[in-house]
Amino acid sequence: MTSLGSSPAASWGEVRSSAIPAGRGGAREASAEHSVLMAWACVPCLVLGLLVLTAGIVLKEQPLFWRNIGGYPVWLRDLVRIFFWPWLGICVAGLGSWSAWILGATAQRGRGFAAATWAAAGFWTTFGCLMVYMTWNNLGNVIDGREWHYHAPGALERTL
């Protein structure tokens, strides 16, 4: 037998209850609180990441962006061409990690879960809208029997 009680279950309960500091929570609740605050502190980074992704998608879907008559610098075209797909993957991974982090931390903390759910849903809705915008005209082209990135000849002329 153990020195704390007559049964192993009783001794575990006594040891466990004596390990939690007295007061309004304990180490676990403080850790969950800190984790939630750190997750909310990452929101500006997510917003910035989605803004950069939005700019990349808008530029990527403009037919004049890829032509010399569009007036865009070559370095910007190269930047979008090289870094768009890796940045998209980083945004998906970051958004997924952040969503799991904020939802798990608020569930462990016991409050704020609804706000975290709304925030995560808002970010994923924004991301979904960006993906729909990115693929909408391309899917229409394929359905109509044209190439994936087809643009009507009139759309390739710069208007003043």
pLDDT value of residue 26: 62
Asked if the structure places residue 63 within a domain, the reply is: yes
Would you state the structure tokens that stand for residue 146, as one six-digit string?
A: 């044209």
pLDDT at 21 over 60: no
* Averaged pLDDT, 72-98: 94
Per the structure, the count of domains in the chain is: 1
> CA 99 to CA 116: how far, in whole Å?
8
For 122, the domain range is 28-156
Asked if the structure places residue 1 within a domain, the reply is: no
pLDDT at 3 over 70: no
Question: Do 90 and 49 contact (CB within 8 A), yes or no?
Answer: yes
pLDDT at 124 over 80: yes
Asked if the structure places residue 6 within a domain, the reply is: no
* Averaged pLDDT, 109-134: 92
Asked if the structure places residue 32 within a domain, the reply is: yes
The pLDDT confidence band at residue 19, using thresholds 50, 70 and 90, is very low
Asked if the structure places residue 35 within a domain, the reply is: yes
Asked if the structure places residue 42 within a domain, the reply is: yes
The pLDDT confidence band at residue 101, using thresholds 50, 70 and 90, is very high
CA atoms within 13 A on the CB side of 10: 7
* Averaged pLDDT, 46-65: 91
Asked if the structure places residue 40 within a domain, the reply is: yes
Asked if the structure places residue 142 within a domain, the reply is: yes
Left if phi > 0, otherwise alpha if psi is -120 to 50, otherwise beta: which for 110?
left
Chain center to CA of 88: 10
CA atoms within 13 A on the CB side of 5: 10
Local structure of 36: helix, strand or coil: helix
pTM exceeding 0.85: no
Sign for the CA dihedral angle at 92, 124, 134, 55 comes to: negative
* Averaged pLDDT, 5-33: 54
